[in-house]
Chain A
Amino acid sequence: MMGLDATRVRAVVRKELLDYRRKRSIVVSMVLLPLLFLVEPVVSIFLVTPLDSGSALDNYVVLPLLYMLLMAVVMPSTLAAFTVVGEREQGTLEPLLTTPLREQEFILGKAAAVMIPSVALSYLVYGLFLGAVALFAHPAVASAVFHDGPTLLALFLFAPLVAGWSVVVGMAVSVRASEVRVAQQLGMLASFPIIGVVLLLAVGVIHPTFTVAIEFAAGLLVIDVLALRIVSRMFDRERLVTGAKATRA
């Protein structure tokens, strides 16, 4: 990632965000998807009876919170899958590649542009959820939610990390895919490992503790950075422009 030019990365981010705003399907999905992810946890929390035992209550609280984490995975995957192959399909990739823009700058700018709205919306939904719990949930349930430190930490810590994971997987697919539709379908695979982890937490194979949260976060961070580097290396100008792999004598 040496020699990155911040001006060029900013230019990519700014243009992407502007383009998202102008695309109605993206705006609609950005509004609807968080609402869908908000409804289920709110309903679940409000159905919990404070008469349940402490451990049962904890389980009831953990699951909706973890469910919301999936939003940070699902939201960016579609956008990330569009990043490279989408540009290629609409014929804008070649002019872009004729500029001094480096592969890493392109990947980083695109990744940041996908992550920024995804993570911001995830945090917004978390805030709305916690606000609703604080205001309207039974005090015992609210207390259980706000005292579930590891899960709350995981929620805020993991949102950008799992979004990052989703973005790099989506972009890796996008760099190689021949069509946007294929890329978007394959990009959804990014959510599988995260769903797996949530399931393991739900069935009690993994117990959410501060240590587990920090360890997972550190692990995800390393994976995200490595994956970003791998995606940058996968970015083959020649293949993207001509459809043929670069060859040397």
Chain B
Amino acid sequence: MIDGSVVGSISNERTVEIPVEPGSHALRVESTRYLLSPEVSFEAIAGQVVGFSCHPRSGSPIIFTRWLIWLLASLVKHDLWIGLQLDDASSASHGVMSASARRSMPRPEVEASRIQSGLDARSASVRAETITSVPARPGTKAQSALVVSDLTKRFGDRTAFSDVSFDVGYGEVFGFLGPNGAGKTTMVRTLGTLITPTSGSATVAGIPLSAENGVEIRQRIAIMPESPGLYLRLTVTENLEYFAGLYGLHHAETRISDALGAVNLGDRASDLCGALSKGLRQRVGLARTLLSDPAIMFLDEPTSGLDPVASLEVHNLIIGLRQQGVTIFLTTHRLDEAEKLCDRVAILNTTLRTVGRTAELREQLFKRSLVVNVLAPLSDPDQFFARVPTVEDWRSDGPGSYVLTVSDPKVAAPEVTRSLVAAGVDVLSIGEAKHSLEDVYLELIAEDVGARQP
């Protein structure tokens, strides 16, 4: 320890969590061991602690030289001690070390990790907390995790998606919906650098989308395809060990154990993947995406094939990850799932049909309405509702059931009730009509279908 601001060592992978007063603080990071580690300042976000990890890195393309530097670094042995010092002298000096020293951040060669404190201690959140430390970058508050601008992908004459633009903030769960063949999976593959866009641009985790930046981007994201794609002759642990190696995790045992714990598969770690059910394989796939501590997770139908209990566990995990600040890009056909989990949704049908919060989409697409149920049908509803000023329009929704278009349900409901009671009508119920995300989805997709018909 140098002084009170030093909090741990990276190679020991110790995490020391010290609460930071809410507010923004400038933090100074200093390396006392490796000359290659630069001094960098990061912003600490309110209620959060920023952590860092560094490791020596040689820019030499010759593998031997890089090995030599690693070897020398390991001989020095003392790891990297970092002092975190709040510029604001009135605040106590606090900091936290990153749990992972393995990932190499490109510019600068220092990694910051955000560990949210004071979380709601729900079980899913707690499980997620053990496995994520989301990379933060200078000014992350102002940046978006994903920025997509006029992105188009064509395969010959076929257009997968066209002129799609949206952005996703850090820590947001973003639902990406659309019918089969709408281009959702192609979008995920494009943003995951698996395929090249035909035109347009995007930024993924702060890095411009390009083939040259592919490795850098893939280091910061994790993609769970619809089919988990496991090696069936290997055990669950062996599958995860393989991917841990591909992500360059040197001490992967803990992360593997945590990832399996997060999807409740700890007791199946030694089972061959070939012996697992589809649902369990899906959970192994999900555990695999958690391994690399990603800033953005692309989940393609994560609950496909899962039973309701397992689906609920995945939902809780996603909620927990969101609370950790992990950005989640969720493609799903389950609209109830999207409505429950997503902060915002986008509906794609080759072109982007809409994007926004579900409540906003409802308001955009549907006029506000009241549903009125009465004991006996009205003799002349046209004449009756015409006398109520707040009712703009009405339609029948079955015997004794009416849907009234109104501008403000809170004003209209008492007035309609009074009118009905005054007319001697027995009112069974009256309430605002709730449009689900499914209604929004079907409305938009039906428009497309209608537009295509001659």
In the complex, the chain A residue whose C-beta lies closest to that of B215 is A100
Are A98 and B196 within 8 A (Cβ)? no
List CB contacts (< 8 Å) of A139-198 with chain B: none
Which of A12, A95, A241, A249 contacts B198 (CB under 8 A)?
A: A249
Residues of B within 8 A of A200 (CB): none
A211 close to B (CB within 8 Å): no
Q: A8-B245, A18-B234, A94-B194 are in contact. List 6 more A-B contacts (CB 8 A).
A: A14-B245, A15-B245, A92-B231, A98-B192, A100-B247, A248-B196
Are B192 and A247 within 8 A (Cβ)? no
Whole-angstrom distance between the alpha carbons of A241 and B230 in the complex? 16
B189 close to A (CB within 8 Å): yes
Are A23 and B233 within 8 A (Cβ)? yes
Q: Could you tell me which B residues sit within 8 Å of A by CB distance?
A: 61, 63, 67, 152, 154-156, 186, 189, 192-196, 198-199, 215, 218-219, 221-225, 227-234, 238, 242-248, 250, 285, 288, 292
In the complex, the chain B residue whose C-beta lies closest to that of A244 is B155
User: How far apart are A26's CB and chain B's nearest CB, in angstroms?
Assistant: 10
Are A19 and B198 within 8 A (Cβ)? no
Given A22-B234, A244-B156: A96 and B189 interface contact (C-beta under 8 Å): no
Residues of A within 8 A of B61 (CB): 2-3
Are B246 and A19 within 8 A (Cβ)? no
Residues of B within 8 A of A247 (CB): 154-156, 196, 198
Residues of B within 8 A of A12 (CB): 245-246
Given A5-B248, A8-B246, A14-B245: A98 and B215 interface contact (C-beta under 8 Å): no
User: How far apart are B57's CB and chain A's nearest CB, in angstroms?
Assistant: 12
* CB-based A-B contact count at 8 angstroms: 104
Which of A4, A91, A94 contacts B63 (CB under 8 A)?
A: A4
Given A241-B189, A242-B155: A92 and B229 interface contact (C-beta under 8 Å): yes
Are A11 and B242 within 8 A (Cβ)? yes
Residues of A within 8 A of B152 (CB): 249
Which of A2, A15, A241 contacts B234 (CB under 8 A)?
A: A15
Interface centre among A7, A10, A95, by most chain B C-beta atoms within 10 angstroms, is A95
> Nearest 6 pairs between A and B by C-beta?
A11-B245, A22-B233, A98-B223, A2-B61, A99-B246, A95-B229
Which of B67, B186, B246 contacts A96 (CB under 8 A)?
A: B246
Residues of A within 8 A of B199 (CB): 249
In the complex, the chain B residue whose C-beta lies closest to that of A15 is B242
Whole-angstrom distance between the alpha carbons of A6 and B189 in the complex? 26
Whole-angstrom distance between the alpha carbons of A94 and B246 in the complex? 14
Q: Could you tell me which A residues sit within 8 Å of B by CB distance?
A: 2-8, 10-12, 14-15, 18-19, 22-23, 90-102, 237-238, 241-242, 244, 246-249
Which of A4, A8, A93 contacts B248 (CB under 8 A)?
A: A8
Whole-angstrom distance between the alpha carbons of A2 and B316 in the complex? 42
Are A6 and B67 within 8 A (Cβ)? yes
Are A92 and B243 within 8 A (Cβ)? no
In the complex, the chain B residue whose C-beta lies closest to that of A249 is B199
User: How far apart are A30's CB and chain B's nearest CB, in angstroms?
Assistant: 15
Are A19 and B233 within 8 A (Cβ)? yes
Residues of A within 8 A of B247 (CB): 99-100
Which of B63, B67, B194 contacts A98 (CB under 8 A)?
A: B194
A-B contact pairs, 14 of them (CB 8 A): A7-B245, A8-B246, A11-B244, A22-B234, A90-B232, A95-B225, A98-B218, A98-B222, A98-B223, A100-B246, A101-B246, A242-B155, A244-B156, A247-B155
Residues of A within 8 A of B223 (CB): 95, 98
Are A241 and B229 within 8 A (Cβ)? no
Are B228 and A242 within 8 A (Cβ)? no
Are B228 and A6 within 8 A (Cβ)? no
Residues of A within 8 A of B246 (CB): 8, 11-12, 96, 99-101
User: How far apart are B270's CB and chain A's nearest CB, in angstroms?
Assistant: 14
User: How far apart are A8's CB and chain B's nearest CB, in angstroms?
Assistant: 5
In the complex, the chain B residue whose C-beta lies closest to that of A7 is B248
User: How far apart are A238's CB and chain B's nearest CB, in angstroms?
Assistant: 4
Are B228 and A95 within 8 A (Cβ)? yes
In the complex, the chain A residue whose C-beta lies closest to that of B225 is A94
Whole-angstrom distance between the alpha carbons of A237 and B246 in the complex? 17
Whole-angstrom distance between the alpha carbons of A2 and B67 in the complex? 14
Are B234 and A100 within 8 A (Cβ)? no
Given A11-B246, A22-B233, A96-B246: A246 and B219 interface contact (C-beta under 8 Å): no
Residues of A within 8 A of B221 (CB): 98
Which of A5, A11, A93, A238 contacts B195 (CB under 8 A)?
A: A238
Whole-angstrom distance between the alpha carbons of A90 and B233 in the complex? 12
Residues of B within 8 A of A23 (CB): 233
Are A100 and B198 within 8 A (Cβ)? no
Whole-angstrom distance between the alpha carbons of A23 and B274 in the complex? 13
Are B234 and A93 within 8 A (Cβ)? no
Residues of B within 8 A of A237 (CB): 193-195
Residues of A within 8 A of B219 (CB): 100
User: How far apart are B297's CB and chain A's nearest CB, in angstroms?
Assistant: 11
Whole-angstrom distance between the alpha carbons of A240 and B274 in the complex? 24
Are B229 and A242 within 8 A (Cβ)? no
Are A99 and B231 within 8 A (Cβ)? no
User: How far apart are A99's CB and chain B's nearest CB, in angstroms?
Assistant: 4
User: How far apart are B74's CB and chain A's nearest CB, in angstroms?
Assistant: 14
Residues of B within 8 A of A242 (CB): 155, 186, 189, 195
Residues of A within 8 A of B228 (CB): 95
User: How far apart are B194's CB and chain A's nearest CB, in angstroms?
Assistant: 5
Whole-angstrom distance between the alpha carbons of A92 and B230 in the complex? 6
In the complex, the chain B residue whose C-beta lies closest to that of A95 is B229
